[in-house]
Amino acid sequence: MTASSVTAPVAAAHDPLDTSGHEQVVLCSDPQSGLRAIISIHDTSLGPALGGTRFYPYASHDEALADVLRLSRGMSYKNAVAGIPHGGGKAVIIGDPSTDKTPELLRAFGRFVESLGGRYVTACDVGTYVQDMDVVAETTRFATGRSPENGGAGDSSVLTAFGVFQGMRAAAQHLWGEPTLKGRRVGIAGVGKVGRILAGHLVEDGAEVVVTDVNAAAVEALTATHPGIEVVGDVAALVRSDIDVYAPCALGGALDDDTVDVLRARIVCGGANNQLVTEGDGGTADRLVARGITYCPDFLVNAGGVIQVSDELLGFDFDRAKRGATAIFEHTLEVLETADERGESPAAAADHIAEKRMAAGSSTIWLPQR
Ligand SMILES: NC(=O)c1ccc[n+]([C@@H]2O[C@H](COP(=O)([O-])OP(=O)(O)OC[C@H]3O[C@@H](n4cnc5c(N)ncnc54)[C@H](O)[C@@H]3O)[C@@H](O)[C@H]2O)c1
């Protein structure tokens, strides 16, 4: 997929190692290949769990467990809000992907995924790539996010960026009455795979675009195609500048307290995961509301990637997947309207909508079809 750690509401006194809210947590060990992994299925009331595999050198087993529990729960919310027929799951492989990743290890991991009979479908995340999913798919039918050469959909950033653009249009409609960024000044932090394509959509829509990136080559590549795009030195300068919309498209943690306090934009809508530094009541989402800033929850607007990989499971059809990502416009409007009606932040409203959908789904766990 898609890199896909997402924000999920976390209760204040929640024990990060408590598995009781999750349907199934599987510890996987294959001494021959050195595989140590955990697969977590949070909820399958809307269908088989879907979520990527993170390959990361966790310092301890507990740290890996806490991460996979948090991430799989986040996927339940992301998939429910995206309206795809999937529950939430995630896997972590403990190790350094640059030294520990071997085809044997990935095949061993695929066998564990296969052992769940389709209750968990894996995809890419931090530390895993489409080529890795091609190898995982050698031993399981339940790997998506593969390369086009192997029947997959390939890079998910095209639809991720398109979905973010749809979310931004919806926020513009909600705030300014028109579903367009024409004449608005949009600041993008990070013009890598997602930010670069988003910039193209915005230019086409008639927005003024201003960007920043630590990677000079990324900026040069973009301004070579779009000479009208303005560049500022860093994120600190971007958020303090006179922008109408801020689109974080680099790393997580984009919305810390200092940023929220100085931000001049009226809308925040970007592709980066985990933008809210403090989750839950009284956290960053509420701080944004207090400053009158409309925040489009990251896991809502960056769902184009997961929509793409879920489509791949049906035999990839770009137009169908694009229609799914187009619906992010309606989903964002629904979230922003629900937030107004309920007098809560858009982040809380998105959680509320996801929970309602999950509650209306199957009351028993999803089982492989016979
Ligand atoms: N690619 C997808 O399909 C997808 C899907 C969902 C979410 N996301 C999330 O969107 C974000 C961007 O993903 P991507 O695929 O474009 O990644 P990428 O690595 O291609 O691009 C990120 C860009 O951010 C820049 N950057 C990093 N730190 C920066 C800083 N401090 N200031 C300015 N620029 C900085 C990098 O130089 C890079 O150009 C990530 O948070 C990712 O998890 C991506």
The per-residue pLDDT of the chain, averaged, comes to 94
- Measured from the Cβ of residue 54, the count of other Cβ atoms closer than 10 Å reads 25
**Per this entry, what is the length of the chain?**
370
Q: Is 198 in the pocket of ligand 1 (CB under 6 A)?
A: no
Beta 35-43 vs 87-94: how paired, if at all?
A: antiparallel
On the question of pLDDT at 7 being above 70, the answer is no
Q: What order of strands is seen across the sheet that includes strand 267-268?
A: 230-231, 208-212, 185-189, 245-248, 267-268, 294-295
Of the candidates 243, 242, 234, the residue with the CA atom closest to the CA atom of residue 215: 234
Q: For residue 218, what pLDDT band results from cuts at 50, 70 and 90? A: very high
240 Cα to the center of ligand 1, angstroms:
21
**Cα 105 from Cα 102, distance rounded (Å):** 5
Helices first, then strands: H and E counts in the chain: 15, 12
**Above pLDDT 90, what percent of the chain?**
91
On the question of pLDDT at 160 being above 90, the answer is yes
On the question of pLDDT at 4 being above 50, the answer is no
Q: Is 24-150's fold the same as 157-303+330-349's?
A: yes
Q: Is 157 in the pocket of ligand 1 (CB under 6 A)?
A: yes
Task: Encode pLDDT of 18-45 as tens digits.
Answer: 888 999 999 999 999 999 999 999 999 9
- In CATH, the number for domain 157-303+330-349 is 3.40.50.720
pLDDT at residue 13, as a whole number: 52
Q: For residue 6, what pLDDT band results from cuts at 50, 70 and 90? A: very low
Q: Is 53 in the pocket of ligand 1 (CB under 6 A)?
A: no
CA quadruple 318, 324, 330, 331: dihedral sign: negative
Q: CATH number of the domain at 24-150, out of 3.40.50.10860, 3.30.450.20, 3.65.10.10, 3.40.50.720? A: 3.40.50.10860
pTM of the full predicted structure? 0.91
pLDDT at residue 279, as a whole number: 84
Mutate to test the pocket of ligand 1, among 234, 238, 251, 268 (most ligand atoms within 8 A of CB): 251
Domain segments of the chain: what residues? 24-150, 157-303+330-349
DSSP secondary structure string for all residues of 67-134: HHHHHHHHHHHHHHHHT-S-EEEEEEEES-HHHH--HHHHHHHHHHHHHTTTSEEB-B-TT--HHHHH
Maximum pairwise Cα distance, the chain: 60
pLDDT at residue 135, as a whole number: 98
